[in-house]
Structure 1
């Protein structure tokens, strides 16, 4: 009998807050409950409530979980920190392993699972603010370039056949646009599935900022102005 593992998944690296409960079996991840809120200004306000809702809908408690998976970006400093801190806190409180995954990898996995890209090349771009995007390119689900951050027009699309990610940026490329705009609970778990199945010890959660936080840069600019 194939072992069934229940996993809590969450991501706050994009403008969407994503959380869900996923059953990981030999047939792959199966979503039991999921919530998505598209409001980058309310990550901290809604995340804990959404987690309570998906656990209740799945009919389980924290003690039933086998692991937590969280998107580690790339993403803006404040939003990304909310999701990772919450995941770490749940893992610590419940004694669960917490697996960090690249959020762009999870978006690419969601595209592949949706049959919008027939195992071809997928370009993923998400809003990095400051008129820039975070990006990665994938072949057959494997990342072959990125993650990186740059102006949208500077992204090398390579042989991408479809683009997915943040609306308003995906339409800048001469490519079909996938309906996937953020990771799903199932795609987050899919990226970490191999490690979860073998009970691998998770690596330390490390955020993929790809650049310094705005607050640090402003502080440095002020220091330079004072020094003349």
Structure 2
């Protein structure tokens, strides 16, 4: 099964083609990673370049997997809308997955030939990404990359107080939070196409119809409905 995997939840946009066999881990065919500030201009051209590199025409894609966050509003919309448009045009299913789940599998080196796995600590795995506004998105996983709690958003200081409670041994994600959290952050900072496809592998192999993709913003919108009419006369 040929899977197109996309993620725009972090400052680095990821796109890739993955071969998902009937059993065993996904196999990477081609991938691209680039500056997330240009996701709107570069995402679709990147998909075309992937197909050319892998020698697989776009209509041969069997399914699309897209990271649904957590992430910033604009970035998530670009990835999810692009995935939905391609899915509609190609008449293939679009599966939304938690981007942190994909990053956790990426950190575990799932299906990545020669992937460098972060030095595992004695406890669980913590994934952290930038939520802006001096906050962090995070989720905790067991050593097999199965999610234990999260994702959620809060200030780094609040998360730092919970590290011992969460029994964290390894932290991956955005290295900018090493200081605020008082920990070493190793491994990948973004989910790989193989990691994203791995999250949806069970549903894809079973042929399950995907649920509508719901972005994980984890915050209430800044815009609110007005509570009353404004006077336009004095």
TM-score (norm 2): 0.87
Residue in 1 aligned with 2:52?
A: 56
Residue in 2 aligned with 1:201?
A: 209
Whether 2:181 is the aligned partner of 1:185: answer no
Provide closer, same or farther for how the CA distance between residues 130 and 92 of structure 1 changes in structure 2, counting only shifts above 3 A. same
How many residues are paired up?
Answer: 217
Residue in 1 aligned with 2:25?
A: 28
Residue in 1 aligned with 2:113?
A: none
| Contact 2:120–2:170 (CA under 8 A) maintained in structure 1 | no
| SS of aligned partner of 2:69 | coil
Which ranges of structure 2 fall in alignment gaps of 5 or more residues?
Answer: 110-115
Whether 2:88 is the aligned partner of 1:80: answer no
Residue in 2 aligned with 1:152?
A: 156
Structure with the higher helix share, 1 or 2: 1
Q: Aligned match of 1:97 in 80, 90, 93? A: 93
| Contact 1:134–1:148 (CA under 8 A) maintained in structure 2 | yes
Residue in 2 aligned with 1:19?
A: 15
Q: Distance in 2 between matches of 1:15 and 1:203?
A: 26
| SS of aligned partner of 2:26 | strand
Task: Tell me by how many angstroms 1:145 deviates.
Answer: 1.1
Residue in 2 aligned with 1:175?
A: 183
Q: Distance in 2 between matches of 1:195 and 1:176?
A: 34
| Contact 1:164–1:170 (CA under 8 A) maintained in structure 2 | no
| Contact 1:69–1:98 (CA under 8 A) maintained in structure 2 | yes
Q: Distance in 2 between matches of 1:46 and 1:189?
A: 21
Residue in 1 aligned with 2:117?
A: 115
Tell me the C-alpha RMSD between the 2 structures: 1.9
TM-score (norm 1): 0.89
| Contact 1:135–1:149 (CA under 8 A) maintained in structure 2 | yes
| SS of aligned partner of 1:28 | coil
| Contact 1:32–1:58 (CA under 8 A) maintained in structure 2 | yes
Q: Distance in 2 between matches of 1:20 and 1:171?
A: 32
Which ranges of structure 1 fall in alignment gaps of 5 or more residues?
Answer: none
Q: Which has the larger radius of gyration?
A: 2
| Contact 2:48–2:58 (CA under 8 A) maintained in structure 1 | no
Whether 2:155 is the aligned partner of 1:128: answer no
Q: Distance in 2 between matches of 1:171 and 1:142?
A: 26
